[in-house]
Chain A
Amino acid sequence: EAGVVQSPRYKIIEKKQPVAFWCNPISGHNTLYWYLQNLGQGPELLIRYENEEAVDDSQLPKDRFSAERLKGVDSTLKIQPAELGDSAVYLCASSRAGGPLYEQFFGPGTRLTVL
């Protein structure tokens, strides 16, 4: 089966510009996650979706970050405006359901560089 697909793989923008990342989860996976990973660190959860509902967005900086998962499949994460400190890898993951025993499958990530 196809894995989690993310695009673009790399993005370079100037500060204050907007940017959007796209994620297509594994078919049949109801739960979708967006993570931020800084260099040399483990991923940090930004938002978790159960189908189309955001059930945990407590770590999402809502002043500049937004996300949506229309129709409960693909998802988009947006930053507007981007800041220098947003430079990181943005990982998308999906799991069949939201319980702790369901493995999360990760995409390759989008590496964002803000100049």
Chain B
Amino acid sequence: KNQVEQSPQSLIILEGKNCTLQCNYTVSPFSNLRWYKQDTGRGPVSLTIMTFSENTKSNGRYTATLDADTKQSSLHITASQLSDSASYICVVSVTGGGNKLTFGTGTQLKVEL
């Protein structure tokens, strides 16, 4: 069964600190992996996308990594800001699946002063 597992489930950090979120997946055949940010009361917004051949992708203070061999990904947030408080969801697509996405349950990040 295709699954995406994320850790930690929740995280609290101080503003300005860095953090790393983890994602393990068993989805196959793998097409790509995205990290989405979902603010409370809003729909998810894509931060990064990585295909099989890519092992790192940055978007501002967000850097995602992918190890397709071990089926692991991470999202590193640098110099966190209060606006980074949100749920971060790891999402994996399969090839030939008509853009069918398998979502993780997300990591709830709270950035405090």
- Complex CA–CA separation, A42 to B46 (angstroms): 14
Contact B100 A91 (CB under 8 A): no
Give the A interface residue count (CB, 8 A). 27
Q: Are B99 and A107 in contact (CB under 8 A)?
A: no
A42 touches B99 (CB 8 A): no
Q: Is the interface of A mostly helix, strand, loop or mixed?
A: loop
B89 close to A (CB within 8 Å):
yes
Q: Is the CB of B98 within 8 A of A106?
A: no
Which A residues touch B46, using CB under 8 A?
103-104
**A: which residues have CB within 8 A of B?**
4, 31, 40-45, 48, 55-56, 91, 93, 95, 98-109, 111
Q: Which residues of B contact A (CB under 8 A)?
A: 4, 31-32, 34, 41-46, 49, 51, 89, 91, 93-95, 97-101, 103-106, 108
